[in-house]
C-alpha cells in the first residue's frame, strides 16, 4: 500500500497540490482522475520521487519515501514499474533489448534466463514474436504493451501508469485496461493509474480519487460514480450532453 500525507506542491508562486492525503491499495487498480491541469501528473511524479513535495509525506508500506537516502530510494525503485504516457521506450534498442534492460542492469541472470523472462513478459502482454522490432516499427498500442512488459519484468510490487490510454483507439484502450487490471490481480500489486479516460473509470476504477484544482474533490469506486451527486465529479465524468443523457437513462430518470 502507498499512502500520501498532506502533500503540498508549488512551482514558484503556483500551488499545484494542496494537502493531498490518500491511500492506494494493494491488489487494486487505484485511479487518479481529473481535468487537465488538476495536478494528476504532478501527484504521480511525486509518488515515484521524480518530483519533491513542498511539504508532506509519501509512505511505501512503513517507509517514508522522502526520508530515504539515494541508495534506499533506488532499492524502493527496484520494486516499482512505470508505464509512461508516450511509453518512453528506448528508440535505439529493439523491443527485446528494451524489456531486457532492467534485467541487464540489475540481475545476474544468464542470457538464456533473461531471454526466457522477456519472452514470458511479451507473452503476458500478447506480443510474442516482436522481439527484434524497433519501437518505431510497432503501433502505439503495441508500444504501450511493450512498456507494460518492461514495467513488470522485474516483478514489481508497485505499478504506475501515466495516462495509459492516451492516443489509443477505444478498442485498444480496453485491451490495455484489462491487461493492467489482470496483472494487478495476478501479481497482487499496488497499481496507480493517472487517467482521464471515462471508460477506464467505469471499467477498472476500484479506488478512485478525483483531483480538482489541486485538491481531492471526490473519492470512491466505479460503482459509486453513476449515483454520486458530487457536482465536480458529474461535471467531469459526464461532460457532454450525450453522456449526461446516458447517465439519466442508466438511472432511469
Provide, rounded to whole angstroms, the least separation between the CB of residue 236 and other proteins.
26
Q: Which is nearer to other proteins, 59 or 234 (CB)?
A: 59
Q: Is 229 in the site for other proteins (CB under 8 A)?
A: no
Q: Per CB under 8 A, does 8 bind other proteins?
A: no
Dist CA 109 CA 84 (whole Å): 26
Answer yes or no whether residue 181 interacts with other proteins by CB under 8 A. Answer: no
**Which C-beta is closer to other proteins: that of 35 or that of 77?**
77
Among 62, 69, 105, 110, binds other proteins (CB under 8 A): 105
Options 8, 19, 54, 88; binder of other proteins; rule CB under 8 A: 88
C-alpha cell at 180: 493492467
Q: CA 10 to CA 203: how far, in whole Å?
A: 33
Half-sphere exposure of 7 (CA within 13 A, CB side): 32
Q: In angstroms, rounded to a whole number, what is the distance separating the alpha carbons of residues 167 and 227?
A: 29
Determine the interface stretch with other proteins among 32-40, 81-89, 126-134, 199-207 (rule: CB under 8 A): 81-89
The total of other beta-carbon atoms located within 10 Å of residue 173's CB is 21
How many secondary structure helices (H) and strands (E) does the chain include? Answer: 10, 10
CA distance 155 to 186: 11
Instruction: By CB under 8 A, tell whether 134 contacts other proteins.
Output: no
Closest separation between CB of residue 125 and other proteins, Å? 17
Among residues 8 and 101, whose Cβ is nearest to other proteins? 101
Q: Which of residues 20-59 bind other proteins (CB under 8 A)?
A: 48-50
Cα–Cα distance measured from residue 164 to residue 54, given in angstroms and rounded to the nearest whole number: 27
Question: Is 77 a binder of other proteins (CB under 8 A)?
Answer: yes
Residue nearer to other proteins on the CB measure, 162 or 197: 162
d(CA 120, CA 38): 37
Q: ∠ CA 220-164-54 to the nearest 5 degrees?
A: 65
List interacting residues with other proteins (CB under 8 A): 48-50, 70, 74-75, 77-78, 80-82, 84-86, 88, 90-91, 101-102, 104-106, 154, 160
Amino acid at each position: 500500500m502507498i499512502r500520501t500525507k498532506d502533500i503540498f506542491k508549488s512551482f514558484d508562486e503556483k500551488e499545484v497540490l494542496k494537502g493531498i492525503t490518500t491511500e492506494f491499495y494493494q491488489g487494486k487498480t487505484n485511479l487518479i482522475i481529473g481535468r487537465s491541469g488538476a495536478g494528476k501528473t504532478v501527484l504521480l511524479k511525486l509518488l515515484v520521487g521524480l518530483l519533491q513535495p513542498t511539504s508532506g509525506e509519501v509512505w511505501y508500506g512503513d517507509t517514508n519515501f522522502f526520508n530515504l537516502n539515494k541508495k534506499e530510494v533506488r532499492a524502493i525503485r527496484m520494486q516499482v514499474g512505470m508505464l509512461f504516457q508516450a511509453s518512453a521506450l528506448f528508440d535505439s534498442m529493439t523491443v527485446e533489448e528494451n524489456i531486457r534492460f532492467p534485467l541487464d542492469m540489475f540481475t545476474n541472470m544468464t542470457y538464456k534466463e533473461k531471454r526466457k523472462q522477456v519472452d514470458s513478459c511479451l507473452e503476458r502482454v500478447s506480443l510474442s514474436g516482436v522481439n527484434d522490432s524497433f519501437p518505431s516499427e510497432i503501433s502505439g498500442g503495441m508500444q504501450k504493451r511493450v512498456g507494460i512488459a518492461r514495467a513488470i519484468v522485474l516483478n514489481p510490487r508497485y505499478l504506475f501508469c501515466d495516462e495509459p490510454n492516451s492516443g489509443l483507439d477505444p478498442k485498444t484502450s480496453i485491451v490495455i485496461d484489462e491487461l493492467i487490471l489482470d496483472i494487478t490481480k495476478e501479481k497482487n500489486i499496488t497499481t496507480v493509474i493517472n487517467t482521464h479516460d471515462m471508460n477506464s473509470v467505469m471499467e477498472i476504477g476500484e479506488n478512485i480519487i478525483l483531483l480538482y484544482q489541486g485538491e481531492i474533490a471526490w473519492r470512491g469506486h466505479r460503482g459509486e460514480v453513476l449515483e454520486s451527486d458530487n457536482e465536480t465529479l458529474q461535471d467531469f465524468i459526464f461532460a457532454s450532453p450525450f453522456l449526461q443523457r446516458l447517465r439519466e437513462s442508466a438511472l432511469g430518470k
